[in-house]
Structure 1
Amino acid sequence: MNLTVTVLEIVSPVFLLAAIGFVWVKAGFEYRIEFVTRLAMTMAVPCLVFTSLMKTEVDLSTLGTLTMAAFASYMAVGVVGAVLLAVFGLGQRTYLAPFIFGNTGNLGLPLTLFAFGQEGLERGVVLLATTSILSFTVGIWLVAGRGSFFKIIKEPMIGATLLGALFLWRGWETPTFLTNTLDLIGQMAIPLMLITLGVAVARLTPGRVGVAILLSLLKLGVCVAVAWGIGRAFALDDISFGVLVLQIATPVAVTAYLLAEKFGADSSSVAGFVVVSTLISVAGLPLLLTLLL
C-alpha cells in the first residue's frame, strides 16, 4: 500500500500537468507552443542542466559510466527495433527513430526528479543530453538519410552540458547571485515541458492506431528489458540504474513527429505512435516504478 501511494505521488504531478496542457487547448485557449518550446529549450532547460551538473556531488566517473550505458542501450534498442520492424514489414524510415528515442525531456526529467530526487535529476540531465546528441545525428540520419552535427553545436542544452561538466570537473561555482538567478530560470523548465507535452498531444492527429498500439507495447517492453540488462552489466548504482531504465523506457517524443513532418516520412503514423505510446505510459511507467523503487 505504501509503495502504491509513493508511485502515485511521483506520477500524479507529471500527468496532471500534462493534462492541464491538454485540457487548456481542448477548451479553446491560446497556447503558442513554438514560443514556449523555444523559451524552455534555449533558456530554462540549459539553466537547469548547467546548475544541476555544477552543484552535483556525483563524481564524473559515475556520470561517465551512465553515459556509456545509455549509448549501449540505445544501440541495442535500435538493433532489436530494426529486426522487429522488418518482421512486421513496417517502414524503418518512419518508425525506427521513434522506436529508439524516448521523451527524456518533457516526461523523463520530471519523473527522475520526483522518483529519485535531486540525484536522479542530475543523472537525468545526462541521459537527456545523450538522447539529444543521438537524436540530432543518428535520429535525423534514420529519417532523412543524413545527420546534422552542426545542429548539435547550436543546441544551447549541449553547450550547457559541456559547461556544467567543466565546472564539475574543475570544482568551480558561479557567484551566488548568478547561481540563484539560473536556479530560478531552471525551475521553469519542468512545468513548461509537461504542460507543453499535453498541448502537443492534444493537437496531434493520430494515424494507424492499431500499428501504434503494437509498437508502443513492444517499445516499452524492449526498452525496459534492454536498459535493465545493460544497467546490470555496467554495475550501475541504484539511482543510476533506475534513471537509465526509466529514461530509456519513456514514450515517443513529439520531436519525432516534427522530424517526420520536416523530412517527408509518414508523419501521421508517427503522430499515432506519439499519442498511443504516451497514453500507454500513463499505466506502464507507474508499473515500472513499482519495480525500481
Structure 2
Amino acid sequence: MVLVLTVLEIVAPVGLLGSIGYLWVRTGHEYRMEFITRLTMTLSVPALIFTALMKTELDPGALTAVTLAAIAAYGALTVILWGVVRALRLDRRTYLAPLIFGNTGNVGLPLALFAFGEAGLGYAVVIFAVMLIWSFTFGIWLVAGGGSLLRVVKEPAMWATLLGALFLWQGWQTPMWLTNALTLLGQIAIPMMLITLGVAVARLTPGRMTRAVWLSLMRGGLTVAVAVAAGRLFGLDPVGFAVLVLQISTPVAVTSYMLAEKYGADADAVAGLVIASTLLAVITLPLTLGFLI
C-alpha cells in the first residue's frame, strides 16, 4: 500500500497537468502552441537544465557514466528498431524515429524530479541532452533525408547543458540574484511542458491504431530491456539506473508527430503511436516506477 501511494504521488501530478491541457482545448479555449513551445524551449528549459546541473551535488564521474549509458542505449535501440522496421516492412521515414525517441522532456523530466528529487533531475537533463542531439541529427535525417549539426548548435538547451556541465566541473556558482532568477524561470518549464503535452494529444488525429497499439507494446518492453542492460553495463548507481530506465522508456514524443507533418511522412500513423504509447504509459510508467523505487 505504501508503494502504491508513493507511485501515485509521483504520477498523479503528471497526469493532472496533462489532463488540464487536454480539457482546456476540448472545451474550446485558445492555446497558442507555437508561442508556448518557443518560450519553453528557448528560455525556461535551458534555465532548468543549467540550474539543475550547476546546483547538483552528483559526482561528475556519475554523470559521465549516465551519459555513456544513454548513448549506448540509444545506439542499441537504433540498430534493433532499424531491423524491426525493415523486417515488418514498415515505412522507415514514418516509424523508425518515433519508435526510438521517447518524450524525455515533457514526461521524463517531471517524473525524474518527482520520483528522485534534484539528483534525479540532474541525471534526467543529461539523458535529455543526449536524446536532443541524436534526434536533431539522425532523427531529422530519417524523416527529412538530411540532419544538421547546425540545428543542434542553435538549440539553447544544448548550450545550457554545456555551460551547466562546465559550472559543475569547476564548482562555480552564479551570483545568488541570478541563480534565483534562473530558478524561477526554470520552474515554469515542467508545468508548461505537461500542459502542452495534453494540448498536443487533444489536437492529434490518430491513424492505424491497431498497429500503433502493438508497436507501442513492443517498444515499451524493448526500451526497458535495453535501458536495464545499458545501466548494468556501465555500473550506474541506483538513482542513475532508475532515471535511465525511466527516460528511455517514456512514450513516443509529440515532436515526432510535428516532424512527420513538416517533412511529409505519415503524420496520422505517428499520431496513433503518440496516443497509443501515451495511454499505455498510464499503466506501464507506474509499474516501472514501482519496480525502480
Q: TM-score interval w.r.t. the shorter chain?
A: over 0.9
Matches within 5 A, 1:26-175: 26-175=26-175
Q: How far did residue 87 of structure 1 move? A: 2.4
Q: Secondary structure at the match of 1:41?
A: helix
Q: Indicate the RMSD between aligned Cα atoms, in angstroms.
A: 0.7
Letter in 2 for 1:237: D
Aligned counterparts of 1:80 and 1:218: Cα–Cα separation in 2: 12
Distance (Å, rounded) in 2 between the aligned partners of 1:153 and 1:27: 39
Aligned partners of 2:218, 2:234: CA distance in 1, in Å? Answer: 24
1:177-232 deviation per Cα after TM superposition (whole angstroms, max 9, x unaligned): 00000000000000000000000000000011111101110111000001011101
Distance 1:285 1:159 in 2: 30
Aligned length: 293
Q: Provide the C-alpha distance between the structure 2 equivalents of 1:288 and 1:171, rounded to a whole number of angstroms.
A: 34
Letter in 1 for 2:164: G
Which residue is 1:259 aligned to?
Answer: 259
Structure 2 letter corresponding to 1:285? L
Query: 1:186-225, aligned counterparts within 5 Å?
Result: 186-225=186-225
Q: Distance in 1 between matches of 2:148 and 2:215?
A: 27
Deviation at 1:82, TM superposition (A): 1.6
- Match of residue 231 from structure 2: 231
> Secondary structure at 1:158's aligned position in 2?
helix
Q: How far 1:61 moved relative to its partner?
A: 1.3
Once residues 67 and 51 of structure 1 are traced to their aligned partners in structure 2, the CA distance between those partners, rounded to angstroms, is: 18
Amino acid at match of 1:68: L
Distance 2:286 2:90 in 1: 29
**Cα distance in 2 between the residues matched to 1:69 and 1:15:** 28
Q: Which amino acid counterpart does residue 176 of structure 1 have in structure 2?
A: M
Residue aligned with 1:111, SS? helix
Once the two structures are aligned, what percentage of the paired residues are identical?
A: 61
- Unpaired runs of 5+ residues, structure 1, are none
Q: Report the equivalent of 1:250.
A: 250
SS of structure 2 residue aligned to 1:147: coil
SS of aligned partner of 1:57 = coil
Runs of 4+ residues deviating >4 angstroms: none
Which amino acid is the alignment partner of residue 244 of structure 1? L
**SS of 2:48 mapped into structure 1:** helix
Distance 2:239 2:42 in 1: 28
Amino acid aligned to 1:279: L
Shift of 1:39: 0.8
What SS does the corresponding residue of 2:215 show, helix, strand or coil? helix
Distance 1:92 1:288 in 2: 29
- Alpha-carbon offset, residue 59 of structure 1: 1.8
Q: Distance in 1 between matches of 2:131 and 2:106?
A: 12
Summarize the alignment of residues 6-25 of structure 1 with structure 2, pairs less than 5 Å apart: 6-25=6-25
Q: How far did residue 141 of structure 1 move? A: 1.1
Deviation at 1:86, TM superposition (A): 2.1
Please, what TM-score do these two structures have when normalized by structure 1? 0.99
CA distance in structure 1 between the partners assigned to 2:55 and 2:233 by the alignment: 28
Q: Distance in 2 between matches of 1:97 and 1:210?
A: 19
Once the two structures are TM-superposed, the CA of residue 265 in structure 1 deviates from its matched residue by 0.9
For the residue of structure 1 that corresponds to 2:109, the secondary structure is: helix
Aligned with 1:106: secondary structure?
A: helix
